[in-house]
Structure 1
Amino acid sequence: MCGNNMSVPLLAEAMTMSGKEKETAAVIFLHGLGDTGHGWAETLAKIQPSHVKIICPHAPIIPVTLNMRSMLPAWFDLMGLSPDSPEDESGIKRAAENIKAIIEHEARNGIPSNRIILGGFSQGGALSLYTALTCQHPLAGVVALSCWLPLHKSFPSASGCNKNLPILQCHGDIDAMVPRQFGAMTAEKLKSIVNPQMVTFKSFPGLPHSSCPEEMAAVKEFIEKLLPRV
């Protein structure tokens, strides 16, 4: 990788899969609580267009309140999984700044922000939504899988450049960890923040807190539509 990654702590360790031809776009994808970027890197490699770079950073290992303060890879602390649980506001904002640093690094190295899709699963999807809506750079879109919008009460509006941000939200209808209704509530909230026509919410029957081939086919279509070959 070119450029100085040391100023972007998450990038030095990230799983990065180069495109098979000149890279003109990128997908930055954030894993869920307790996971690493490796599994999602493998999954996304199967749907990677040849001109798109895929970056799957690893979350830092921190004590997580929800898991009795045990040390886990987590983007920020989680106190609970209901819409009214207290939230780690400073941790969420700090994590978002770290992801914005990756976006800025890619932009400096030739992939403009409007050719970058930000995505994630569960806690990573939550962070991707928060980051995109507070980002001062226009993005190509967001893929939000099995997740929610953190600090949702703080959103009267998105940053101006992402008012027309395409958002693909996917959720399993038997998700016991982050119930589908939280995803549906999030989709309604998002429609009040960005142009409502830009928000797509897809529900997958029989899918728990996980992914499936049908969901990844929807993600592939979204990436190909928003990051076409230049």
Structure 2
Amino acid sequence: MSEPGELIIDPKGGKPADACVFILHGLGADGRDFEPLVPALSLPADASVRFILPHAPRLPVTINGGMVMPAWYDIKEMSLDRRVDEAQLIHSAERIQGLVREQIDLGIESRRIILAGFSQGGAVAYQAALSFERPLGGLLALSTYFATAESISLAEANRELAIEVHHGSFDPVVPEALGRAGFEKVKSLGYPAHYRQYPMAHAVCPQQVTDIGHWLSKRLVN
């Protein structure tokens, strides 16, 4: 798989970043899909947060008749079991972990790095965050599912990772049952997880954006 890069949004005014948020897009989109979210979060003016919005590679996707499109991994069927290509998913997660290490090497403390992902991107974020070797600042799982729940090797460094799970109550793409199952799984494993339901489909809604902004501010703004 070729790696197509990422969109980087640095703090305003040329301030050096002291925190970083990765946002992974969903199937068929790219990093620009969540670019408008960044100003909408209304983080405090003194926030020094870098946002990194990676682009997924282009892959054939079985559920779309083999069409080649931006995808973190192949989805083989859309049942509640949601069969996926785990090797591709893990490869994508390892790529994200490499980007996280780059930010740490640039001087950002690992506990001030948050991984967020929507739909397919959320499944990658689950894998990348919960198997990462250094403690992170949080995991934000949006309208997604924990695809590698039964196979992941959990990292002890992140056994106390704060996990925020959001899902739409009438999501026709990723049924809420899948999102709630991911939440229940991490809760059963002892993670401090919190679940929020919103009256929406497979999307992001204004109240949710406000809640995300507050959650990020609490975790990253001094």
Q: TM-score, normalised by structure 1?
A: 0.89
2:22 to 19, 28, 36: 28
What's the counterpart of residue 192 of structure 1?
Answer: 188
Is the CA contact (8 Å cut-off) linking 1:158 and 1:193 kept in structure 2?
no
Q: Shift of the alpha carbon at 1:172? A: 0.5
In structure 2, distance between residues paired with 1:218 and 1:93: 29
Indicate the residue corresponding to 1:4 in structure 2: none
Instruction: Give secondary structure in 1 for the equivalent of 2:36.
Output: helix
Matched, 1:210 2:207: no
Matched, 1:152 2:149: yes
Please name the residue that 1:59 is paired with: 56
Which whole-Å deviations, capped at 9, do the CAs of 1:99-123 have from their partners, x for residues lacking one?
A: 0000000000111211100001000
SS at match of 2:150: helix
What does residue 163 of structure 2 align with? 167
**Corresponding residue number in structure 2 for 1:74:** 71
Asked if the contact 1:117–1:142 (Cα under 8 Å) also holds between the matched residues in 2, the reply is yes
Amino acid at match of 1:16: I
Would the aligned equivalents of 2:10 and 2:50 in 1 still touch at CA under 8 Å? yes
The answer to whether the 8 Å contact 2:183/2:195 transfers is yes
1:89 matched residue in structure 2: 86
User: Which residue of the other structure, out of 110, 115, 122, is the alignment partner of 1:113?
Assistant: 110
CA distance in 1, matches of 2:131, 2:220: 21
Query: Could you say which residue in structure 1 is the equivalent of 2:178?
Result: 182
Summarize the Cα distance change of 1:166–1:10 in structure 2 as closer, same or farther, 3 Å threshold: farther
C-alpha separation in 2, matches of 1:93 and 1:13: 17
Q: Which of these residues, 130, 138, 143, is aligned with residue 140 of structure 2? A: 143
Q: Does 1:15 align with 2:7?
A: yes
Q: Which has the higher mean CA deviation after the structures are superposed, 175-184 or 186-195?
A: 186-195
**What is the CA–CA distance in structure 1 between the aligned matches of 2:5 and 2:183, rounded to whole Å?**
32
Letter in 2 for 1:89: E
Identify unmatched segments of 5+ residues in structure 1. Answer: 1-8
Query: Counterparts of 1:204 and 1:112 in 2: how far apart (Å)?
Result: 32
Question: For residues 194 and 119 of structure 1, what CA distance do their matches in structure 2 show?
Answer: 20
Post-superposition, which runs of at least 4 consecutive aligned residues in structure 1 deviate over 6 A? 9-12
Q: Take 1:85 and 1:13, find their aligned partners in 2: how far apart are those partners?
A: 27
Secondary structure at the counterpart of residue 78 of structure 2: coil
In structure 2, list runs of 5 or more residues that go unmatched. Answer: none
Identity level (%): 34
Q: Equivalent residue of 2:72, what SS?
A: coil
Which residue is equivalent to 1:41? Answer: 35
Separation (CA, whole Å) in 2 of partners of 1:17 and 1:44: 8
How many Å apart are 1:44 and its aligned residue? 1.9
Which letter does structure 1 place at the counterpart of 2:150? K
CA-CA distance at 1:53 after TM superposition: 0.4
Correspondence for 1:224: 217
If the length of structure 2 is used for normalisation, what is the TM-score? 0.92
Corresponding residue pairs, total:
217
Cα distance in 2 between the residues matched to 1:62 and 1:223: 32
How far does residue 150 in structure 1 lie from its aligned partner after superposition? 1.2
User: What is the alpha-carbon distance in structure 2 between the residues aligned to residue 85 and residue 15 of structure 1?
Assistant: 29
